Amino acid sequence: MFSSQLKKGSIELLILSILDDQPLHGYEIGKLIEFRSEGKLNFRISSLYPVLCRMEEKGWIAGRWVEKAGQRRRRYYRLTPKGRRALSAEQETWVEFAAAVNQVIGLSHA
Amino acid sequence: MRDWKRYAREHLPLHEMKGGSGESIIEEVAGQLEDAYLEALERGLSEEEAYSFARETVGDWDALADAIVKTHEAETISRAEAWVERSEQRVMAKGGGFAWLVDAQRDIRFSVRALRKSPGFAAIAIFTLALGIGAVTTIFSLVDGMLLKPLPYSDSEELVYMWEKLASFENATVAYPNFLDWRERNRVMNDLAAFNDGSINLTGVGDPVELDMVRVSESLFPILRAAPLLGRTFLPEEDRIGAQPVVVLTYGFWQSRLGGASDVVGRTLMLDDFAYTVVGVMPRDFVFPPSGQHVDVYVPIEQFAQRWIENRGSHPGIAVVGRLNPGVSVERAFDDMERVALELEAEYPDENEGSRVHVVSLHERMTRDSRGAMLLLLLAVGLLLLIACTNVAGLVLARGSSRQREIAIRTSLGASGPRIVRLLLTESLTLWLLGGLLGIGIAAFAIDALVQLRADAISPLFQVGIDVRVVVVTLAVALMTGVLFGLMPALRSVRPDVVESLKEGGRTSGSVGRNRARTALVVAEVGLAVALLVAAGLTIRSFLKMTNTNPGFAPESVLSVEINLPTARYPEEAQRTAFYYDLLDRVRALPGVRSAATSYVLPMAPGGWQTAYHAEGESPEEDGVYTFAEVSSVSADYFATMGIPQPRGRDFTRRDGEPAPPVVIIDEVMAQRYWPNEDPIGKRIKFGTFESENEWMEVVGVAGHVKVNGVISDALPQFYIPHGQHNERGYYLVVSAVGDPTMLAESIRRAVLEIDPAQPIASVNTMDEYVRTSSADDEFQALLLGIFAAVALVLAAVGIYGVMAQATAERTHEIGVRIALGATEQEVLGMIVRQGMTRVAFGVAMGLGLAVVIGRIMAGSLFGVSALDPATFVVAPLFLSAVALAASLVPARRAVAVDPVRALQTE
């Protein structure tokens, strides 16, 4: 639907936003992005998973193995305080960026 | 149920990731696959459809694996960097001046971790370095102990050693009256002491035994500032002719013979049948003479000086030590002694014409024989170390090219060039330091072995071993070479373009720079190895020449025993002659004895007798320049027993005694010198000069020339006089045995005791042993250099192989292209080998240049081999080239065996 370049540029912001409400495991993150975008944004594991790794390494999210009765264990990711700060910064940047782009392409009424 | 874990594991090659994180990632990815699969099933898809749906959720497996690995590497590195930064900040915060130390410690910990990741590389590198550094440490500890450390006498740098130089003899021992005058007239020395060695028979304490004695001036102990352990040393009035006999014991003798009795001072010992009062015992660590020869007792020298004190022409083996006044240099002392010598020459022109004094520091005198050999060995191990370092530098370089990705990642994470160089350099230094530590361990063993091997040649005065100095120098050498050889690969590693290396599938093309570095390594390695090989070749050839040179006698199956008759019990010459003749009769009758004889001196054994002589018909000597010869007094059968050929004339007999006309047997050198075209039998020579009034001695026979001082030294002409006409109190008894000569020692001892129950025998040795000892230094040198050269050869071969293998492997692609384009295997093989051998040729040229320089240094110590010995200079490089050829053929063959299609696919 969207070019992979376009998707790549926003994926971290998407994950941060999704995880803002609740801790999720990897598959749920992908599903939720797809669901909220009404199927317009979907990521394969090969694109999503390394980003999770990278974000965890940056300390924005933290992963933890959780075992629930009768289920195999899953790795749940939650936002860290650092991630929360990153989220608001990314949101701001995104809004500014979108506004700037809109302004340039003439969709803005500013 | 599908095994998604297995499916994920098969598609994600993460097994190289450490710490089980690979497994955890696989589990997580498998989980996601399973979620997708289950969801698809729930939506009503068939198992097959669900399966392919799940698979599609992944996308590109390879990209995933790559991204994970990269993220993970970056994670590890950046975590480490963060830790570095934090600890740096901590150190800075403390403001300590030891920041660099903490820094270094951390870098080292890093390096150790990095090295543990490739244990094979680390082990080979560390072991190679340990060999090189261990060899250097071993030889350095010898050099340090023998050449660098001051002698363990207090203020030892003030001690000098003196001997005489005569008009016709460069090195002569000192005439006792000259010593007395030196002592009196010099203005530069605190005091002087004379000493010479001898033997004295001890009776009354167990079996009679011959003791090693050193006669010393009473001033000796004060000069050396050596205090006795018990009692006192000699008083000036005891060092006089006719004074009460007194003796100072060495610790060893006191312990072994007298059981360390505490009441030994004041006791009397029967020495040569005189009662000597023990006045003192020296401490255990007291060593004199500095050569470290075995000593039992010290006696005052002048008590023995009857025969010397009026005779300035007699040089009875005396050497002199002195202590310079503070601030006086050896040069000034030499000048002052020159003045004294000139005065004495003017006063005693007959004996002292042309006589001068050698003055050198005691330390220099003790080390001058070994200095050249030691420095050559040091040079050799230096070359060996350089070869080892070159090898490891090659290894590090090769490793660097396989680590370029890691380096690129570090760089992309913001590590600066200097920071990476520092890290890589620390890694090298860690290798070198570990190599150094292991090297010290190796050296500890090697030094023990060497000292054991040379126990009789290394004076106990020299403290050879691993001490703080040696360790410090070793580690300094390790660090220095580590920086020197670690810097090149480190610098080379940061150069390559970051982007290029990060690119997926980036083929590591042999960059020009790396190739150049490699060429330098091969050239250096070959060059150093050739130089070392030539040095070893020259030494070994010289040694072989030496052992193959006929010494002029046949040492096999000959036993020698020293017998010294004390003058107290044998005051008359006739008594002594009777003793020896009786002994000869008894020994000749022993079973297993082929023949027996006596001789005053033996070739290659300690002692010697050189004298001025005059051949009848020669012109008078001028300017005090006399003609000298080696002399011995021998009994009948001496030549037969020693296997010395006697081409002309007759042997001595017992009829050649006192009343008979004096006779002499000369050697071929003397015969050739004076009577080249005549029969020398019937010609006459005499002791002394043209003017001397000694009796003429008639030549009755000619014997072969004997290398008396070992085969290296050119011996003087020789002549022999009959035992019956020249009588000494001490003789060697030589016995030629039918079987093993050492079996005869006991029966000879019994034969002596049958004649005189108080007479000991000494110095029981085979002639073979004397011969071996005479070339022991050279054997030692040849052995060590041989070992070093062998190690160098192996290291060089391994190094060349490594470099060639790496270079060839990097060209696999190119080789594939060439073969695909129709080049034959031979052509490709030729190309690779040619490239390798061109480097080798450069190395050989460099090595030969170096070898010429080393050869020049060695020239003086070579025997029968030119310093530019063509055989060695041709064989050594050929040998090395052959090894190098083999080392480059192996990877070359492997390269051409590669299937061109696969080679092209390695892209």
Check residues B822 and B346 and name the one with the higher pLDDT: B346
Mean pLDDT within B449-475: 84
Could you tell me which residue, B496 or B278, shows the higher pLDDT? B278
Give CA–CA dist A45/B327, Å, rounded: 87
- Is the Cβ of A25 closer than 8 Å to some Cβ of chain B? yes
In a domain, B162, yes or no: no
B605 shares its domain with B709: yes
Structure tokens at B106: 């951390």
User: For residue B264, which phi and psi values (nearest 5 degrees)?
Assistant: -70, -30
Q: Is A27 on the interface with B (CB under 8 A)?
A: yes
DSSP three-state, residue B244: coil
> Measured between beta carbons, which residues in chain A are less than 8 angstroms from residue B34?
72
Alpha-carbon distance of B295 to B211, in angstroms, equals 8
Cβ–Cβ of B28/A44 closer than 8 Å? Answer: no
Helix (H) or strand (E) holding B554: none
- Express as a percent the part of chain B with pLDDT over 90: 38
Does the beta carbon of B64 lie under 8 angstroms from any beta carbon of chain A?
yes
B75–A57 C-beta distance less than 8 A: yes
Mutate to test the interface with B, among A25, A53, A64, A82 (most CBs of B within 10 A): A53
Does residue B67 carry a pLDDT above 70?
yes
Q: What band does B499 get if pLDDT is binned at 50, 70 and 90?
A: very low
Residues B237 and B312 in one domain: yes
Q: Closest by alpha carbon to B800, among B837, B847, B752?
A: B837
Residues B670 and B815 in one domain: no
Residues in chain A: 110
Cα separation, A71 vs A25, in Å, equals 13
Residues B577 and B689 in one domain: yes
Indicate whether B234 and B114 sit together in one domain.
no
* CA A106/CA B827 separation, integer angstroms: 68
Flag whether B253 is in a domain.
yes
Closest CA to B268 of B251, B252, B250, B245: B245
CB B762 within 8 A of CB B563: yes
Q: What is the predicted ipTM?
A: 0.83
Q: What is the reported pLDDT for A41?
A: 85
- B82 pLDDT higher than 60: yes
| Mean pLDDT, rounded, for B724-736 | 90
Average pLDDT over residues B592-611: 89
Percent of chain A scoring above 90 in pLDDT: 5
Q: Does A53 touch chain B (CB under 8 A)?
A: yes
The dihedrals phi and psi of B721, each to the nearest 5 degrees, come to -120, 155
Phi and psi for B116 in degrees, rounded to 5?
-70, -20
Is B163 part of any domain? no
Query: Is the Cβ–Cβ distance between B752 and B583 less than 8 Å?
Result: yes
Interface contact A46, partner B, CB < 8 A: yes
pLDDT at B513: 63
Q: Chain B partners of A57 at a C-beta cutoff of 8 Å? A: 71, 74-75, 78
A66 touches chain B (CB under 8 A): no
Instruction: Give the domain-ending residue among B730, B758, B786.
Output: B758
**pLDDT band, very low/low/confident/very high, at B104 (cuts 50, 70, 90):** low
Is B216 strand, coil or helix?
Answer: strand
Sign of CA dihedral B385, B386, B391, B394: positive
Of B81 and B380, more confident = B380
Q: What is the mean pLDDT of residues B230-238?
A: 95
B118-130 pLDDT tens trace: 788 888 889 999 9
Q: How confident is residue B211, by pLDDT bands cut at 50, 70 and 90? A: very high
CB-based contacts of B709: which residues, under 8 Å, 6+ apart? B603, B604, B608, B715, B774
A75 contact B CB<8A? yes
Between B318-322, B759-763, B806-810, B866-870, the lowest mean confidence (pLDDT) is in B806-810
Separation of alpha carbons B111 and B113, rounded Å: 5
Per-residue pLDDT averaged across A97-106, rounded? Answer: 86
For B662-710, the pLDDT digits (tens) are 999 999 999 999 999 999 999 999 998 888 888 999 999 999 999 877 6
Nearest to B788 by CA among B13, B84, B139, B189: B139
Domain range for B68 is 4-91
- Provide the pLDDT for residue B512: 60
| Residue B298 near residue B253, CB atoms below 8 Å | no
Residue with tokens 């297995």: B6
Q: What is the largest CA-CA distance in chain A?
A: 56
Question: Is B58–A45 a contact, with Cβ atoms under 8 angstroms apart?
Answer: yes
Residue-wise DSSP of B409-457: HHHHTT--HHHHHHHHHHHHHHHHHHHHHHHHHHHHHHHHHHHHHTTTT
Helix (H) or strand (E) holding B362: helix B362-402
Q: Is B87 on the interface with A (CB under 8 A)?
A: no
Whether B253 and B296 have beta carbons less than 8 Å apart is answered as yes
pLDDT reading at A74 higher than 70: yes
**Amino acid B85: pLDDT:** 63
Least Cα separation, residue B824 to chain A (angstroms):
45
Within 8 A of B32 by CB-CB distance, chain A residues are: 25-27, 30, 45, 49
The verdict on a CB contact (< 8 Å) between A57 and B64 is no
Q: Is residue B76 predicted with pLDDT exceeding 70?
A: no
Mean pLDDT of B634-652: 93
- Residue A37 has a pLDDT of 86
Q: Taking CB atoms and an 8 Å cutoff, what residues of chain A touch B61?
A: 46
* pLDDT of res. A10: 83
Q: Does residue B362 form part of some domain?
A: no
Are A49 and B31 inside 8 Å of each other by CB?
Answer: no
What is the rounded distance in angstroms from the CA atom of residue B217 to the CA atom of residue B179?
Answer: 10
B81 Cβ contact list (under 8 Å, min separation 6): B410, B413, B414, B415
Q: Measured between CB atoms, does B52 come within 8 Å of chain A?
A: no
Residue B36's pLDDT band (cuts 50, 70, 90)? confident
Residue B16 has pLDDT above 70, yes or no: no
* Mean pLDDT (chain B, rounded): 85
- What SS3 class is residue B62? helix
**How many Cβ contacts (< 8 angstroms) between chains A and B?**
60
CATH topology of domain A4-105: Arc Repressor Mutant, subunit A (1.10.10)
Nearby residues of B125 by Cβ (< 8 Å), 6 or more positions away: B392, B395, B396, B431, B435
The continuous run of DSSP H or E covering B59 comes out as none
Q: Are residues B695 and B803 in the same domain?
A: no
A55-A61-A67-A72 Cα dihedral, nearest 10 degrees: -30
- What the block records as the tokens of B496 is 């390559």
Residues β-bridged to residue B321:
B161, B193
Compute the CA torsion angle B301, B305, B310, B315 (nearest 10 deg).
-70
B686-697 burial, b at 16+ Cβ within 10 Å, e below that, comes to bbebeeeeeeeb
- The model's pLDDT over B106-116, given as tens digits with 9 standing for 90+, comes to 677 777 777 77
Residues of A in contact with B11 (CB under 8 A): none
Residue B902 has what pLDDT?
A: 65
B72 touches chain A (CB under 8 A): yes
- The two structure tokens encoding residue A36: 């909220």
**pLDDT score of B101 more than 70:** no
Instruction: Establish if B765 belongs to a structural domain.
Output: no
pLDDT of B508 over the 50 cut: no
* HEC per residue, B779-829: HHHHHHHHHHHHHHHHHHHHHHHHHHHHHHHHCHHHHHHHHHCCCCHHHHH
The residue among B40, B58, B91 that closes a domain is B91
B147: DSSP letter: I
Task: Look at chain B and count its residues.
Answer: 907
The shortest CB-CB distance from A44 to any of B24, B31, B57 is to B57
Report pTM. Answer: 0.71
Number of domains forming the structure of chain B: 5
Closest residue on chain A to B69 (Cα): A50
A26: which chain B residues are within 8 Å (Cβ-Cβ)?
Answer: 28, 31-32
- pLDDT of residue B464 exceeding 90: no
B268 contact partners, CB below 8 Å, separation of at least 6: B275, B276, B277, B278
Q: Which pLDDT tens digit goes with each residue over B352-396? A: 888 999 999 999 988 887 888 888 888 889 889 989 988 888 888
Q: Report the candidate in B360, B358, B368, B459 with the shortest Cα–Cα distance to residue B157.
A: B360
Better-predicted residue by pLDDT, B172 or B721 = B721
Please tell me whether residues B743 and B653 are part of one structural domain. Answer: yes
Confidence check: pLDDT of B164 > 80: yes
User: How far apart (Å, rounded) are the C-alpha atoms in residues B871 and B887?
Assistant: 24
pLDDT at position B168 is 77
Specify whether B382 is located in the same domain as B395: yes
Q: List residues bridging with B230 in a β-sheet.
A: B281
CA separation for the pair B698, B661 (Å, rounded): 8
Please list every residue in chain A whose beta carbon sits closer than 8 Å to the beta carbon of residue B64.
45-46, 49-50
Q: For residue B644, what pLDDT is reported?
A: 95
* B20-27: average pLDDT: 77
CA distance B718 to B241: 35
Tell me which range, A6-10, B402-406, B848-852, is most confidently predicted by mean pLDDT.
Answer: B848-852
One domain for residues B340 and B489: no
What are the chain A neighbours of B31 within 8 Å (beta carbons)? 25-27, 72, 74-75
**Any CB–CB contact under 8 A between B556 and chain A?**
no
Q: Which amino acid is at B278?
A: V
Q: What type of residue sits at position B401? A: S
Q: Do B74 and A57 touch (CB under 8 A)?
A: yes
Say yes or no: B69 and B109 in one domain: no
Residues of B in contact with A53 (CB under 8 A): 25, 67-68, 71-72, 75
d(CA B562, CA B763): 5
**pLDDT tens digits, residue range B429-451?**
888 889 999 999 999 999 988 88
**Residue A58 forms contact with B (CB below 8 Å):** no
CA distance B907 to B812: 10
Q: Do A25 and B31 touch (CB under 8 A)?
A: yes
| pLDDT of B775 higher than 60 | yes
The chain-wide mean pLDDT, for chain A, equals: 84
Last residue of a domain, one of B354, B386, B407: B354
At B510 the pLDDT is 46
Preceding amide of B289 cis, omega within 30: yes
**pLDDT value of position B553:** 92
Q: Is residue B51 domain-shared with residue B106, that is, in the same domain?
A: no
* Tens-digit pLDDT profile for residues B170-187: 888 899 999 999 999 999
CA B271 → CA A97, B200, B246, B247, B277, distances in Å? 113, 6, 10, 10, 10
Binary contact (B31, A44; C-beta < 8 A): no
The reported pLDDT for the residue numbered B412 is 66
Tell me: do B796 and B747 sit in the same domain. no
Residue B269 within any structural domain of the chain: yes
Distance between CA B628 and CA B178 in Å, rounded?
21
> For position B177, what pLDDT does the model report?
95
Residue-level pLDDT at B589: 94
Band of pLDDT at residue B86, cut at 50, 70 and 90 = low
CB contact under 8 A, B64 and A72: no
